[in-house]
Structure 1
């Protein structure tokens, strides 16, 4: 297994939000770039959340959540997964990006943080988080699927992933970026997404991604099996959070998944596939409201 290393925070073109710290989290499976924000000064600490980004995304997709979560007493640690943005990984070997390998990375990140965690995964990050929970749920006190569905992505999104795969097969990363700009939204598989910063920062993030990571995880998004029944058997409180519209997994599919999980359900008006970017404050409040309602050990009834 190739161990990832991280770009140093001092050289990063992605400064953390106010009050947060960017650093390389050392784990048993290598170092991972994180943005870590504590609970706000004078606010009683209420818990710690580990935030996993989606396909083509990064820890910066959660930048706008750190402030409101800190104000509610929650420390938030957003991470670049293996081969994403500032976390290193092989450029050509796809085997370290299998779902199982990335799930073990999440468990190593949790172990390195050394505290019970509220786990949040956006889109692809939700499916990686699900695989981690199915391997070992013990580090976690709750699990939120943020715009992340039960199985493979929609047919329209599969087409976009195939276009991206074909482009990566014959073009350089800078050339593919120019093609992405022409693809348009939604941001899940490229496009000039709403985001945390400038188009130049988005371009730099794209160039930091490892092609093997994009190829492997894109393929898995198109073939992911339905593991909701397995997840429902895990003794954790679940939360399904989404925007009011979603092209990657229709909202009705997310509604049905929430019922199957016995999960708390939150829908953010005016948001689409990335509520964390579209409407960050209501999204942060929905997360904090869910966590506030749990027993301190994370056990108890769902819904």
Structure 2
């Protein structure tokens, strides 16, 4: 679970809705100070129990490089509605949503795509299907296949409990004790509770199953000509750092390890993360335009 450190939107960042042919998506949109983007836009996709707010700390910095930056709630997450049909929450279906959203944002022009954790598994679907031209692709604290280790065990426990006990049980037995033990401020705890209960239970159940069973698609991803970055915290407790490093080698991708960060670099080390993304995006644009 990503825990935002603050919820106040920085200058130049606003909450809005983007309408697409497959539905409306709640987003946070950051614009350059001038109000006129000079570089290609970026789309940031959160993890399983996260939301667009997980990127608040990096949005203003990313936009200052001259681009429009958008963080989204996926279908069934927080402020984006979703159906009760489990088929809407597979990686393939959510990846199609990202495809359509990227086309709506970019208007057919290249766009930088970032997927955090489960969002990385979703975003790579859009990259692999090849319908949208992406300027670059970043896997942030994500992996080549199903999640492993302590987060796998937590996911399997949640998958077993959700259908019978519901989100209330998950909050009181798992998430609330975790954030209380971490000394999270009351305002943030209230937000995390509100966010969890706003999620679609069907979506949460299906997406948890997806992150626990996702196949390795690195070989397919290598067939797509897109500049790729693998970025993760040195203390990541999701996919092990070594696994992510090996994935970067397989993808011939650039690899950035964020010192001091764990599974949520955009929250835990926002300035370092934003600097790494901006440098990578600028370099990708220079190669593509040169």
TM-score of the superposition, structure 1-length normalised? 0.86
8 Å CA contact 2:235–2:241 kept in 1: the answer is yes
The alpha-carbon distance between structure 1 residues 248 and 207, as it changes in their structure 2 partners (threshold 3 A), is same
User: Structure 1: which 5+ residue stretches go unaligned?
Assistant: 1-13, 186-190
8 Å CA contact 1:237–1:298 kept in 2: the answer is no
Match runs of 1:57-96 below 5 Å: 57-90=50-83, 92-96=84-88
Match runs of 1:1-303 below 5 Å: 16-41=9-34, 45-90=38-83, 92-113=84-105, 114=107, 115-136=109-130, 138-181=132-175, 184=178, 198-296=188-286, 298=288
The alpha-carbon distance between structure 1 residues 175 and 104, as it changes in their structure 2 partners (threshold 3 A), is same
More helix by share: 2
Equivalent pairs, count: 280
| Offset at residue 183 of structure 1 (A) | 5.8
The alpha-carbon distance between structure 1 residues 297 and 109, as it changes in their structure 2 partners (threshold 3 A), is farther
| Offset at residue 29 of structure 1 (A) | 0.3
The alpha-carbon distance between structure 1 residues 192 and 88, as it changes in their structure 2 partners (threshold 3 A), is farther
| Offset at residue 192 of structure 1 (A) | 6.8
| Offset at residue 246 of structure 1 (A) | 1.3
**SS of residue in 2 equivalent to 1:72:** coil
| Offset at residue 264 of structure 1 (A) | 1.0
8 Å CA contact 1:194–1:277 kept in 2: the answer is no
User: Structure 2: which 5+ residue stretches go unaligned?
Assistant: 1-6
Alpha-carbon distance in structure 1 between the residues aligned to 2:190 and 2:207: 24
| Offset at residue 292 of structure 1 (A) | 1.4
**SS of residue in 2 equivalent to 1:35:** strand
**SS of residue in 2 equivalent to 1:74:** coil
8 Å CA contact 1:51–1:119 kept in 2: the answer is yes
The alpha-carbon distance between structure 1 residues 182 and 203, as it changes in their structure 2 partners (threshold 3 A), is closer
**SS of residue in 2 equivalent to 1:21:** strand
RMSD over equivalenced CA pairs, Å: 2.2
| Offset at residue 137 of structure 1 (A) | 5.2
Alpha-carbon distance in structure 2 between the residues aligned to 1:79 and 1:229: 27
